[in-house]
Amino acid sequence: MLSPALLARANSGLTFRPTEDTVLWYPGQDDVNTSTLRDRSDKSNDGTITGAPWTQTGQGLWGLTFAGDDDIIALPTTFHALLTGSAGITFWCWFKASSFPASTTQDIIMSTLTSDVPKGGLLLGFLESSGNKIRLGGRSQAADSFQSFLVSFTDTTTYHFMAGIWDFTNATLTLVVDDTVTGPTGVTWGSATHVTTATTTVPTIGGESPPGAAQFNGDLFLEGMELRAMTTSYLDSIRQSQRHLFGV
């Protein structure tokens, strides 16, 4: 039996259902006056919203607008422990960028990178490097060097679906933007599962914590994460089932 919130979203055409592998699913909000972003997986990873106001698509879907300064969604620090031991991780969202990073800087869409030692974690965002690029990267464990690749992206006019796939067993990264797949790209990782030890660093969506120069500027909707390397065909089925909500 679906909760009233999910039933209402099903009636509006949002058909994705969390699975046992889902550790994060933000399908919008019941109360846009709250600073809590409700996680609709069964893992209770509610996000704490700082600064970012609610916005709505023309189709009625609620999301958040990030101004590129101090707006973030902070996830629980216990989120790191959920990722440890995973053979693969996939994060996806819908976005519309308002602007891109200044020279040689980056804007974060999602990060679980830890600033303390030992380091680990994942990164998906934008980087200015001879033009704007989407950057997908991460480590499997503390001993790894940070592995990443870049894909050119410049559009600020419409909504796009984006997903990052971290496959630790096969040591590959894959980026999906709408119906374009880049990868799998081989990387050098030392562990076949993701390892992040206890840390106080806050995982974030929409920027870094504490806020600095890596804050996203634009709108984010329907963020999700699963503890598996999802197939690109399955991700495309999610995109196809949700694109009407963004008029694309």
* 174 within some domain: no
Name the band, by pLDDT with cuts 50, 70 and 90, for residue 119. Answer: low
Domain assignment present for residue 229? The answer is: yes
**Is it true that the peptide bond before 211 is cis, omega within 30 degrees of 0?**
no
Q: Which amino acid is at 145?
A: S
Q: Does any domain span residue 81?
A: yes
- Choose between 105 and 234: higher pLDDT: 234
Residue 227: what residue type? L
As for how many domains the chain has, the answer is 1
Instruction: Please check the confidence at residue 191 and state whether its pLDDT lies above 80.
Output: yes
Q: Is residue 112 part of a domain?
A: yes
Q: What CATH number did the domain enclosing 50 receive?
A: 2.60.120.200
The reply to whether 5 falls in a domain is no
Q: Is 10 part of any domain?
A: no
Do 223 and 92 form a contact (C-beta atoms < 8 A)? yes
- For residues 34 and 97, the model is more confident at 97
Check whether 11 has a pLDDT greater than 50. Answer: no
Residue 206 host element (H or E): none
Q: Is residue 73 part of a domain?
A: yes
What does the alpha-carbon distance between residue 176 and residue 185 come to, in Å, rounded to a whole number?
Answer: 12
What domain range is 127 assigned to? 26-168+190-246
* Listed residue (241, 208, 39, 4) closest to 114, CA to CA: 208
Dihedral sign of CA atoms 110, 115, 116, 119 in order: positive
pLDDT-derived band at 240, boundaries 50, 70, 90: very high
**Triad 126, 156, 160: Cα angle to 5°:** 75
Q: Is residue 238's pLDDT more than 80? A: yes
Domain assignment of residue 20, yes or no: no
